[in-house]
Amino acid sequence: MPFFVLFLTLLISTPCFSQTFNDLIKARGISRKCETIRAEIRSTNDAIDFIEKTYRKKDPDYADFSIRQQQQLLRTLNEEWTRSECGEPPPEPEKIARPSPHPNESSDQLWEVGDRRWTVEEERRFERWVEETITEDFFIRYKIPTDCADAVYAIRWIYARIAQLPVAATTRDGRWIGHWSTDWKHLPTHPEWDKDARFRAALHYLLPKTWTGTLPFDTYPVRISPESIVPGTLFLVTQSHTGIIGHVSLDGSQAHPLQTWESALPVKVQKLSLKYFFSTRPESKTRGGLVRFRWPVFENGEWKYLPGEEHPFYSEEQYAAGFCEGSAGFVEAVSRKIDPTNYVPMEKMEKVMGTATRFLRERIPIVLAGYQQCGNGDCPEGSELWEIYNTAGRDGMIVSLMDHLAQIIELNHLDPEMAKGMMEAIPIDISEDRSVTLYHVFQNHLWLSPHPGDSIEARWGLKKCETIYEQTRTANDSIAFIERTYRKKDPRYADFTIRAQQQLMGRLSEEWTRSECKESLLRLEKKIRLSSPPVVSVKAHRGSKRCEQIRTEIRIANNSIAFIEKTYQGKDPGYADFTIRTQQQLLERLNEEWIDAECRKPSPTPEKKAKK
């Protein structure tokens, strides 16, 4: 063996040389890692410079958000540089994340707002966003479960997140959370709100913690005028129901100038219902009525709400004793304040006919697609497909339009035969080989079926007797439930609620007789409409049968409210108000039962308890 090779072999085998060699390899590894970090820091700074140069003027909101994301990456790289013992820090421009221009904010919070604050102009942008963006399938597309209060809170929070504006909410237990909250700092963020895990986790936490009873803390009453009652305004029946105005019509073509988006119990991923504004007369002590969200402001080192009376649209006029003078009620008084125009009756009738025709023709492809998907019984009520293809909300609008059309003809003494002829001349092609007229719907609008699995004939009111039969059966089921649940614990409430159901059954019986229906002639749908099968969790949850029973009764109560609104709101508003209040009381009782039974929806999608 040559001497040099022998010498080198002996040298390498010594402990001292071995340790030195290992240190050299380790140092080379560290050096490469540090160079990689240095290159990443340089690239990130270049990205910040590019965003500043390219987007600062044309889209400052995007620039701020993207730069904050890059700054978070710089902080992470800086920590990795220190942890990797890279020795000397990188050159000055690359050393650390550039300091935030807003020292009161943290990258750990839901989102940073910088200097952005709510103003009248920002509210106008929110108004346009609501009108252009919110559709009946909005929460289905983003898979967000809602009830009525969830929907309005979620709409405000989603917009604030998109626009990088302050937002807050009061929870049931009195906690105040907002964009500054850092409880979800461990989750990543994303420029698009629906992909932002941190934001969606906060929203998922927030919605079960809020309800119609917390909205008075987060809203303020507004003037009743076209300038302040706009898309994005809420109506609130405290501890009962709420919705958000989606559209304002000032041309006389609608049954009411205000059209609202509303969700309902039970909490689930569901369509929003487009309805005409309806609300009981509000009282100042409950802070309900027409309201808007308050503005969070930063003062003395903390976030707080701007006092209600300092908001630009603040007013308590709707609570005044004389607000409804000269009107049939609160709903009509609001209509006259928003649109005081006296329309020529004939022109008004033609406009409403046009709106009704548009709604009906838009309904045709939904009904056909629903029957194609659900005609074989694969869409039980409450299932995802049922939610997509049912027309409950749209049918309610059609009923309101038809009732309004009847009122225009009757109150203005227009010729019924002339109106009939006009409506008979308007075809509604419900399938390739079948057509009905606008007049047919005018005569049978109460019996349109919203269920996607029903036959095309039933969907278009051609099976009136079958529909009356099913509504009667539902009322009987409600009476049986009330007897079973409340007869012993609260007999007076049981008597009161059962009387309301009996009144409804009496009216259905009158319609059955007037339509010359006979049970022997019924051709009921062959399939049986089932409720969605309960999701089975690995661990049995307490009182599962009882909870499913309560869930079913919540659905029945909501269906009853929808039916009463559709059937009697126009022709007998006094009866409708009374009966709806009764159903709302039942919903409150069911909420208590839900809590007492410690009901929880099985994972993976937790359900909130029923809200009032």
Tokens of 84: 């990797």
d(CA 48, CA 478): 63
- Per-domain boundaries in the chain: 21-94, 120-338, 342-463+523-532, 474-514+542-612
Query: Is 19 a residue whose pLDDT tops 70?
Result: no
What's the confidence (pLDDT) of residue 604? Answer: 34
Cβ–Cβ < 8 Å for 265, 587: yes
**What does residue 393 show for φ and ψ, rounded to 5 degrees?**
-65, -45
Name the CA dihedral angle for 79, 84, 86, 89, rounded to a multiple of 10 degrees: 10
Most confident of 47-61, 213-227, 548-562: 213-227
Alpha carbon 266 to its chain's center:
13
Q: 534: pLDDT confidence band, cut at 50, 70 and 90?
A: very low
Closest residue by Cα to residue 233 from 221, 224, 244: 244
pTM (two decimals):
0.69
* Mean pLDDT, residues 583-596 taken together: 69
pLDDT in tens, 428-473: 999 999 999 999 999 999 889 999 999 999 999 988 888 788 888 8
With CA atoms as reference, report the closest residue to 311 among 122, 572, 76, 524.
Answer: 122
Q: Which residues contact 54 (CB under 8 A, 6 or more apart)?
A: none
**Quick check: 2 pLDDT over 60?**
no
CA angle 474/407/393 to nearest 5° reads: 40
Burial of residue 539, with CB atoms counted within 10 A of its CB: 0-12 exposed, 13-18 middle, 19 or more buried: exposed
Encoding tokens for residue 402?
């038809």
Angle between helices 573-596 and 491-514 (to 10 degrees): 130
Q: How many CB atoms lie within 10 A of CB 1?
A: 7
Looking at every residue in the chain, the average pLDDT score rounds to 82
Q: How confident is the model at residue 558 (pLDDT cuts 50, 70, 90)?
A: confident
**Rounded mean pLDDT of 225-247?**
94
* CA–CA dist 377, 367 (Å, integer): 15
The larger pLDDT score, comparing residue 158 to residue 20, is at: 158
Q: Which of 139-148, 463-472, 499-508, 556-565 has the least mean pLDDT?
A: 556-565
User: Cβ distance 97 to 74 under 8 Å?
Assistant: yes
Read off the tokens for 361.
């023709």
Least confident of 99-103, 241-245, 417-421: 99-103
Residue 298: pLDDT above 50?
A: yes
| CB half-sphere exposure, 603, CA atoms < 13 A | 5
Distance CA 475, CA 567 (A): 15
61-65, 274-278, 543-547 — most confident range: 274-278
**End-to-end CA distance of the chain, in Å?**
94
What whole-number distance in Å separates Cα of residue 202 and Cα of residue 184? 7
Q: Mean pLDDT across the stretch 44-62?
A: 77
pLDDT value, residue 98: 42
pLDDT over 70 percentage in the chain: 79
pLDDT of res. 580:
72
- Dmax over CA atoms of the chain, in Å, equals 124
Mean pLDDT of 212-216: 95
Residue 612: band (very low, low, confident or very high) from pLDDT cuts 50, 70, 90: very low
pLDDT (tens digit per residue) in 100-147 = 455 578 889 999 999 999 999 999 999 999 999 999 999 999 999 999
pLDDT computed for residue 89 by the predictor: 56
Mean pLDDT of 52-63: 74
**Average pLDDT estimate for 518-529:** 50
CA 83 to chain centre: 46
The pairing of beta strand 434-437 with beta strand 427-431: antiparallel
- 411 to each of 330, 331, 575, how far by Cα in Å? 20, 18, 21
List helix spans (H) across 460-572: 464-486, 491-514, 544-568
Cα 89 from Cα 102, distance rounded (Å): 26
Residue 134's pLDDT is 97
Return the amino acid letter for 536: V
93: helix, coil or strand? helix
Q: Do residues 556 and 478 touch, judged by C-beta distance below 8 A? A: yes
pLDDT in the model for residue 349? 96
pLDDT score of 525: 43
| CA distances for 454 relative to 399, 460, 465, angstroms | 19, 10, 14
Q: Can you tell me whether residue 459 is helix, strand or coil?
A: helix
DSSP character string of 425-442: TSEEEEETTEEEEHHHHH
* Cα radius of gyration rounded to whole Å, the chain: 31
Give the C-alpha separation, 392 to 450, whole Å.
5
pLDDT number for residue 603: 32
In whole angstroms, give the CA distance from residue 317 to residue 258: 18
Per-residue pLDDT band at 17 (split at 50, 70, 90)? very low
Higher pLDDT among residues 475 and 585, named by residue: 475
Residue 125, token pair as written in the block:
């942008």
Percent of all residues in the chain with a pLDDT value above 90, rounded to a whole number: 50
524, pLDDT greater than 80: no
User: pLDDT tens digit string along 356-413?
Assistant: 999 999 999 999 999 999 988 888 887 889 999 999 889 999 999 999 999 999 999 9
